[in-house]
Structure 1
């Protein structure tokens, strides 16, 4: 797959072909359906398969206060789309100028003049142009005017659930990571940097890596079975999310990334990596959530917490033995 960073970097040799267009946050099974349909069509017509997406979520520029946390950072989105076997991925810079394009300007200047597309594949709720004023009807009308085809891909379902990035974020925030994985087509993954914590885990005999996450969805408080990517290898482990209530009783919780004020305790993410004794402070880390084991509990004392951690590990290893 060839990667083009920015619409302005598109060359003459990139013109023509069949295009899939969308934000594709999460590259979930619904997105994969659109991209795979595009790929089949391009192969049948012996044309290039092209995906046009954005470097950030459009709302980050248009209305930052309403922008949702990402399911996939830019680098992971690129890798996931590459894995689908596309010929060309164009990652547009969704800046103020780009967001100001009217639907007419987007179709004519980008799709027709710049890319010279022959067909475009989109989901049925696709909107585009300044203020999201362009819709499927507008796109179809313009396709007749400019001579390119439009293919609308119906939503994908998992059972009775219509797959969408919004629904997946909702499930993750509720701690339903196993159900979210069914919609994503893989376990939900979070990226961050290992930072120094309060060494509570080490004091209990279970040293943990404290993770400062990037801009991604954080599951609800509790203990999860997970996979941790560290030092170039995948490790099994437990992931704990919460405000450490055993050590911070009576303190209010705040969301991740926020520092408590007035006695508040920040929400933390910790990873206890099975059979691991490496040093990873300051390193980037990747964690995947497989299953929620239990909710967060405020124990009477550290000894009770230590006993529960031991039970959590036994339970986690039993689950892993059945996978």
Structure 2
């Protein structure tokens, strides 16, 4: 798969493709169905498939404080798209200039001059251009005039439920990881590199890996039973994700993972933390001793869970 960062990096050889446009946050089963149809159209027309995404996502640019938490950061999204057999990803920097393009300018600049699109798959509720002035009907008219076809991406339903990133976030917010996995087509996990932290957990007797989140908000908060993928092996553990209210922090979310019975240096390594069950909400404790007692209880609960249910061990 080829990644093109920015419209300015498009070259003549990139012209001619079938394309879809969207956030593709989480690359859930609804997205997967769109990408499957995109691959079919690409084979029919003998051109590459291309997914156009934005960084940051438009709502994160316009209303950062109220934008929904991401299911996957950019690096993970690109890897998920690669896994779906996409030929090319065009990642556009969403800024004032791009957000200010009229619907006509968006079509001309990106779809025609940039990509030379032959076929476009978008949701029938897709809006684009300055003040969201462009819609599906606008695209169909533009396609008829400019020589590309436009097809509405069909909504995917599972057990009568429309699959969407919002539904996945709702499931995660309710700690319903079974439903989240059903909607995503895989267990929900967070990947990141292990950074040096305050080493407070080590002082409390329970060393943790401080996993870099690189996102403004996350869809989870609390203490969870997790499995951590290290060199292809899944290790059971317990994780806290939140703002660490008992200790002085920067107010941003952190992911700290205690891997049961693991001995080794994880600093600088990329881990994937898969979430299975919520133990409790994050809370502020009156003292470090109270925090230590709670952490020990969380670790004991994790051990009891994995040891008591061997068929669920990762």
Please report how far the alpha carbon of residue 44 of structure 1 lies from its aligned counterpart in structure 2 after TM superposition: 2.6
Q: Which runs of 5+ in 1 are unaligned?
A: 260-266
Q: How does 1:1-323 map to 2 (within 5 A)?
A: 1-192=1-192, 193-197=194-198, 199-200=200-201, 203-204=204-205, 206-215=206-215, 216-222=217-223, 224-230=224-230, 234-241=234-241, 248=246, 258=251, 269-281=255-267, 283-295=269-281, 306-307=296-297, 309-319=299-309, 321-322=311-312
- What SS does structure 1 have at the residue aligned with 2:117? coil
2:117 and 2:12 map into 1 onto residues whose CA distance is 12
1:308 and 1:83 map into 2 onto residues whose CA distance is 35
CA apart distance, 1:268: 5.3
C-alpha contact 2:39 2:49 (8 A) present in aligned 1: yes
- From the superposition, tell whether residues 109 and 230 of structure 1 become closer, same or farther in structure 2 (CA, over 3 Å): same
SS at structure 1 position matched to 2:65: helix
RMSD, aligned α-carbons: 3.0
What per-residue deviation string (whole Å, max 9, x for no partner) do you get for residues 7-64 of structure 1?
Answer: 2211111111211111211111111111111101211332222222123212233333
Deviation, structure 1 residue 286: 3.1
Q: Which residue number corresponds to residue 262 of structure 1?
A: none
Q: Is the 8 A contact 1:177 1:292 kept in 2?
A: no
Relative to the length of structure 1, the TM-score reads 0.82
Q: Could you report, residue by residue, the CA deviation over 1:115-134 in whole angstroms, capped at 9, with x for unpaired residues?
A: 11111011232111112221
Cα drift, residue 281 of structure 1: 4.1
Contact 2:237 2:259 in 1 (8 A): yes
- Paired residues of 1:202 and 1:208 also in contact (CA < 8 A): no
Q: Distance in 1 between matches of 2:301 and 2:210?
A: 21
In the alignment, the residues of structure 2 paired with residue 4 and residue 221 of structure 1 have an alpha-carbon distance, to the nearest angstrom, of 37
- Contact 1:3 / 1:88 at 8 angstroms: preserved in 2? yes
Which has the larger displacement, 134-143 or 302-311? 302-311
Q: How many residues align?
A: 307
Between the aligned partners of 2:41 and 2:96, the Cα distance in structure 1 is 33
Q: For residues 8 and 322 of structure 1, do their structure 2 counterparts lie closer, same or farther at Cα, with a shift above 3 Å needed?
A: same
Structure 1 residues 303, 5: closer, same or farther in 2, change over 3 A?
closer
TM-score by length of 2: 0.84
Distance 2:37 2:69 in 1: 28
> What secondary structure sits across from 2:76 in the alignment?
helix
Partner Cα distance (1:220, 1:294) in 2: 9
Deviation at 1:291, TM superposition (A): 2.8
Structure 1 stretches of 4+ moved >6 Å: 297-300
